[in-house]
Amino acid sequence: MAGGTRILPFPLSSSTHLLLLLPLLVLAAPAGGAALSPAEWRVLSLHKLRWGDKDTAPKNTCLPQKSRRQNGATILEMRHHDYCRGRSQSWEEMTKRLMLSDEARVRSLQSRMPTAPSSRIQEGNSEARFPLMSGVKLQTLNYIVTIGLGEKKMAVIVDTGSDLTWVQCKPCLYCYNQKDPLFDPSTSSSYKPIPCNSATCGSLQLPAGAMGGCSMNQTSCKYSLSYGDGSYTRGELAHERINLAGTTVDGFVFGCGRTNRGLFGGASGLMGLGRSELSLVSQTLPQFGGVFSYCLPSREFDSSGSLVLGGDPSVYNNSTPIAYTRVVSDPQLNPFYLLNLTGMSIGGVNQQASGFSTGRILIDSGTVITRLVPSIYKALKAEFLKQFSGYPSAPGFSILDTCFNLSGYQEVNVPTLKLQFEGGAEAIVDVSGMFYFVKRDASQVCLALASLPYEDEMGIIGNYQQKNLRVVYDTVGSRLGFAEETCAYS
């Protein structure tokens, strides 16, 4: 049954009437005669991904309250069920703002690529494991964790596309609204500003898009970091004790932001997990060996995942072996993690596209929707529509142009998308990452992939397609691994 429930024009017995009154569970097989093996399609339960109807008031804090150690890892509790942010706007309004913000981030990332034309730029051994919650709850595009800075706990955005870790500091000349109190350096005995005349200030290599150093009449080392979409943070660099789920690191270099603006809604700042010497990964090399991983949950609003610092796989809950691919080394593309995408398959059908000849693609925790170069997206979209045919169409929404009305279904079968990388590694996109719900009643559900405008732009694997995957970053071994895992903080 491809299009929905059909009403049959014949007399009905009383028993048939009773059967029709029962709730219907419609399991929609791939329409149009597509023959998929069970390994090449997965069932998507639409009702499990719909957002509830109950509005909740915003919380006054974003910080979890509990923690524990397990198998060498320290785990911090993460609240869910609309914890931290209540719903003060409609789902449609929030979705529209999210897509606009996501596109702004993608334009910013593209402008930082060394091949980006200027005209386009002008246009647009111990383990610490702690919970990871969708930043959508804070009206951001990323995921947040809680860290200790000095004696205070801070909720910060996790960003693999940034290097510098920073928080808003008191006194603040201009700060966006955050849920929890600002960090106050005057109350911390371990806070030490980095002096202007120090070797540390002169030797620090700030990430792309940042400026640092000193000018006349300044005593502390300054930084200014712009994210290209109008967001920025400015302040001084300092040393502070950082606490990562029970593992403490003294003398951690971070940014104490005095002037901050942007799409960080509610969080105290940002954790930089990029590839330069300033990133948290580099600064904690003695503690964690340059390895971190995360697992993002399938639901944005009432579930959680984890961020693990350290490389002991015994703390993972993966159900498939970790398959590694090489991280491409390109000094011009620090702090980003760059991979070689060699192919894709949808429903077991390998795709052919000229874009695979170059194949370089970023993996980014801060971008939501995966972006593909036009040749790859066109081939993938055509094959998806061939296999997922017969369903009512719906209008496109923002960057999403392939949409369906699935309000008449409880479950649908979705062809499996596999990303293929250099060395034979595969990342299987979880079925929850295939569709984005524009309307919570499923009357407008869109393929959660989008095309870039130009063939020479850099593809990006967004966090929506990384759900229910253990993604392992081994910066010392210059490799990145994928394994299937049902993400949960447990």
Active-site positions read 159, 364
SS (H, E, C) the chain: CCCCCCCCCCCCCHHHHHHHHCCCCCEECCECCCCCCHHHEEEEEHHHHCCCCCCCCCCCCCCCCCEEEECCEEEECCCCCCCCCCCCCCHHHHHHHHHHHHHHHHHHHHHCCCCCCHHHHHHCCCCEEEEEEEHHHHCCCCEEEEEEECCEEEEEEEECCCCCCEEEECCCCECCCECCCCECHHHCCCCEECECCCHHHHHCCCCCCEEEECCCCCCECEEEEECCCCCEEEEEEEEEEEEECCEEEEEEEEEEEEEEECCCCECCEEEECCCCCCCHHHHCHHHHCCEEEEEECCCCCCCCEEEEECCCHHHCCCCCCCEEEECECCHHHCCCEEEEEEEEEECCEECCCHHHHCCEEEECCCCCCEEECHHHHHHHHHHHHHHCECCCEECCECCECCEECCCCCCEEEEECEEEEEHHHCEEECCHHHCEEECCCCCCCEEECEEECCCCCCCEEECHHHHECEEEEEECCCCEEEEEECCCCCC
Q: Round to whole Å and give the CA distance between 260 and 156.
A: 14
Copy the structure tokens of residue 149.
């800075």
Please state, as a whole number, how many other Cβ atoms lie within 10 Å of the Cβ of residue 265.
20
Distance CA 459, CA 125 (A): 34
Cβ burial, residue 38 (10 Å; 0-12/13-18/19+)? exposed
